Amino acid sequence: MVSSKVDAEILAVVKADAYGHGLVPVAKAATAAGAAWLGVALLEEAFILRDHGIQAPIISWLTPPSSDFNRAIESEIDLAVPSILHLKLIEAAGKKVGIRPRVHIEVDTGMTRGGLLNEWQEFLTIIKSAEIEVVGFWSHFARADEPDESANTDQLKIFEQRLEELRGVGVAPKYVHFANSAATLTNPKAHKQIVRLGIAMYGLSPDVKTMGSGSTLGLKPAMKLTAELHLVKDVPVGASVGYGGTAQTSKNTKLGIVSMGYSDGIPRNTSNLAGVFVAGKRAPIIGRVSMDQFVVDLGAESTAKSGDIAIVFGGAGYSIDDWASAANTINYEIVTRIASRVPRIYE
């Protein structure tokens, strides 16, 4: 869907185990579907991709000074340069291994997180003689998920100014990139040569409050989470449920114990606005989420039984956004926190 609407190469962001979906399978699927680049935060993620035979260009952008730059350069991984220190470390590593490093210069345009800021003018005096290959130039939006926010225009203006200053000292990167998922969907001026698709690639809205739901944006969630009902039992009115007795049954009912808990990524602070879909009905959470299980109120007339498969989110019932709202968080956190002990099945 996105590739048909942008005149830029697509970088599939697969950091954080591909937002909880599985690093290697998603990277392979993304490149097979046409993604020209892969993006990761940590070098360890990039190394895993290379170890699994993935040869697509990879950018790693969160590389503390202790990172293994030697291996990164030998593995043909592009590196972000957010400071003069990083530039010197990467350049030295390149000389050590006898390979000219490929880098993407990162500038801080208003996020006040990663990227060159006060060092920029000094950096310009150094970069033109550095023994590196400047492949890219990039920054990151702070409020792209608020499309009408003036800060987006301000950041883009600073970005263009820094790019011209870089070109002014004779450094002309081939690839310029700024757009994250939100900007890719709403801000064509930010597309440049590469767009970085993160949350939207997994079928989720960057912000349901300011941009609408994923379905409104024409996106389809990639993840469906299911769990088995460990036990179904009849419970009388007034029964306390879970640790601390924080909830009581309001009538005679059936409760289902779902074999999944906060160690699997289910938020402990989730309210009864979330739950599961089983036996044709929604069943809201009742009581506190435990480490390996949580309880749902099936209702007295439910036909659910022990061993039934409940849909936690995706498909019918509760959405990922429902779970995020119930836990007072964002959909990014819901999918990225699903633990490694939860099997991933790819269809």
Residues with catalytic function: 15, 243
Cβ burial of 8 (10 Å; 0-12, 13-18, 19+) is buried
Distance CA 264, CA 289 (A): 11
Distance CA 137, CA 323 (A): 37
**What does the DSSP assignment read for 111-169?**
S-SSSBSTTHHHHHHHHTT-SSEEEEEE---SSTTSTT-HHHHHHHHHHHHHHHHHHHT
Question: Contact, 80 vs 104, CB < 8 A?
Answer: yes
Question: Contact, 111 vs 178, CB < 8 A?
Answer: no
Rounded (10°) CA dihedral 152, 208, 220, 260: 120
Phi, psi of 275 (to 5 degrees): 170, -145
List, in order, residues 6 or more apart from 227 with CB less than 8 Å away: 258, 259, 260, 276, 309, 310, 312
Question: Contact, 254 vs 282, CB < 8 A?
Answer: no
Beta bridge partners of 234: 254
Does residue 175 sit in helix, strand or coil?
strand
Q: Which residue has the tokens 């048909």?
A: 4
Distance CA 252, CA 300 (A): 7
Burial per residue of 233-244, b for 16 or more beta-carbon CB atoms within 10 angstroms, e otherwise: eebeeeeebbee
70 φ/ψ sector (left φ>0, alpha ψ -120 to 50, else beta): alpha
* Closest residue by Cα to residue 242 from 307, 296, 301: 296
